[in-house]
Structure 1
Amino acid sequence: MLLEQVQVSECAKKFGTNNFRVVLVSRNQDALDQYAKELSSEGIETYALAADAANSASLTAAFEQIKKNYGSPDVLVYNVAVLKSGKPTSLTAESLVSHYQVDVAGALHCALQVIPDQVAQKAGTILFTGGNFALRPSADYTALSIGKAALRTLAFTLAEELKPQGVFVGTVTIAGIVAPGTRFAPELIAEKYWELYEKREEHEIVYS
């Protein structure tokens, strides 16, 4: 699981309590170690590995280590985005590409690390974290809106290509602000990832 927000910790917990071994990946090793410690204390076999979603070589190295030490992932959850405001005219071509590298290209690169083995096994799941900006873009968050729209398209096109080969691809489109104790509490959103994984029917859940 590629980790950027606390909601992925809840997602990891959901899969972990259903007999999955969890590998968390993020830039921040200290935060990773804390999440891994919390999950391990609940009896979930958890490992943590640092990598940067903005750096394809870093991601490749991480997946090589994962495959070597834990086996090829049965489920990939990509939940990474550059959460930075900015109107269209505040962007440059370079800054937009830097957002896109994390929001979309990183997602594709991670998927490509697991797809060959999943296709060979005719089984596997890839889940992306979408957002309301994919459906209702905001000028105040232009780069993120573009990224989420592109990620949604990536999810649907990958799903179309890989479904005949036994691999399920889906996206949870979160139409709200993630916050504990609300309708958008991380543990409630985690249920939607599990629902996609279990049912394998619709390729998108819009959680609003």
Structure 2
Amino acid sequence: MIQSRSEAVHMSKPVIAIVGAGPGVSAGVARKFGGHGFTVVLLARGRESLDLQVADLRERGVDAHAVTADASVKETLVTAFAQIESEFAAPDVLVYNAGANTISDPSDLAEEDLLADFTVNVAGALVCSRLVIPRMTERGTGCLLFTGGMLALKPVASRASAAISKAGLRNLAFTLADELAPAGIKVGTVTIGGVVSPGTFFDPDLISEAYWDLFNGSDQTEILYQPA
């Protein structure tokens, strides 16, 4: 039987797709997984930023690639994941890191801004998950990881939109975990309790260890990443 290119590639190197790729948490995750032999595919809207990130990863010896997509536009995500599967393989790991945050107290928050943020923060995560779940189910293995925030647990008035979205994302992660465990698919969320900044407790490379732990079989669905 003749193998497709994606099947042949998958036999040799696992693939991680990181949606909402930027210089913070996702860059740390890319370095971590890439350093363990993953092909890293970064997805975001801005091609210039993606190319810079890919260049940095390749200098570190990581097999990295860029695919443009807008987390708020389903059609671009569908196209992007079809490209990933065609050129590399169906992802073994999905990391959803895209985020939007309208700063406003809830009484002043326009419903269209809330819906726009929710589309990026939660609906986009669902769309990406649905695009990778079928192949993960066929293989009987896979991992979905989401970047959460402490606003889901401790809401702040001026960040009402993000608080609502992060609560929604957290519940999406837990319900997917419940549904997909029998299929062999691991689902987890890293709830980050502070401002991401290099050289601090919230250094992206330190945070990336939480994603690696969830991928490597931690029985937790959520890691609360905060000082003891």
Q: TM-score range by the shorter chain?
A: over 0.9
**Residue-pair matches, total:** 208
Contact 1:134 1:145 in 2 (8 A): yes
The answer to whether residue 219 in structure 2 is matched with residue 201 in structure 1 is yes
Q: Distance in 1 between matches of 2:49 and 2:104?
A: 27
Using the TM superposition, give the Cα deviation of residue 4 of structure 1 relative to its aligned residue in structure 2, in angstroms: 4.1
C-alpha distance in 2, partners of 1:58/1:91?
28
CA separation in 1, counterparts of 2:100 and 2:73?
Answer: 14
Q: Distance in 2 between matches of 1:142 and 1:15?
A: 33
Root mean square deviation of aligned Cα: 0.8
1:135 matched to 2:176 = no
Q: Deviations over 1:110-157 (max 9, x none)?
A: 000000000111100000000010000111000100000000000000
Q: TM-score, normalised by structure 1?
A: 0.98
Residue in 2 that maps onto 1:5: 22
Aligned equivalent of 1:158: 176
The answer to whether the aligner puts 1:19 opposite 2:22 as a matched pair is: no
| Contact 1:168 1:200 survives alignment (8 Å) | no
Q: 1:57 aligns with which of 62, 70, 75?
A: 75
1:191 aligns with 2:213: no
The answer for the alignment partner of 2:106 in structure 1 is: 88
On the 8 A contact 2:71/2:124 being kept in 1, the answer is yes
Q: Which structure has the larger Rg over C-alpha atoms?
A: 2
Contact 1:50 1:62 in 2 (8 A): yes
Q: 2:13 maps to what in 1? A: none
Give per-residue Cα distances to partners, 1:172-198, cap 9 Å, x unaligned.
000011011111011100111001101
166, 173, 187: which is aligned to 2:191? 173
Match of 2:15 in 1: none
Q: What SS is found at the alignment partner of 1:94?
A: helix
Name the counterpart of 2:95: 77
Identical columns (%)? 43
For residue 124 of structure 2, what is the aligned residue in structure 1?
A: 106
Gaps of 5+ in 2: 1-17
The one-letter code of the counterpart of 2:220 is: E
- Which residue matches 2:60? 42
In the alignment, residue 80 of structure 1 is paired with which amino acid? A
Alpha-carbon offset, residue 199 of structure 1: 2.4
Separation in structure 1 between the aligned mates of residue 154 and residue 39 of structure 2, nearest angstrom: 36
Unaligned runs of 5+ in 1: none
Structure 2 CA distance for aligned equivalents of residues 51 and 199 of structure 1: 29
Q: CA deviation at 1:90?
A: 1.9
Q: How far is 1:5 from its partner?
A: 3.4
In the alignment, what sits opposite 1:124? 142
Aligned mates of 1:93, 1:46 — CA distance in 2: 38
Instruction: Give the conservation status (yes or no) of the 8 Å contact 1:128–1:172.
Output: yes
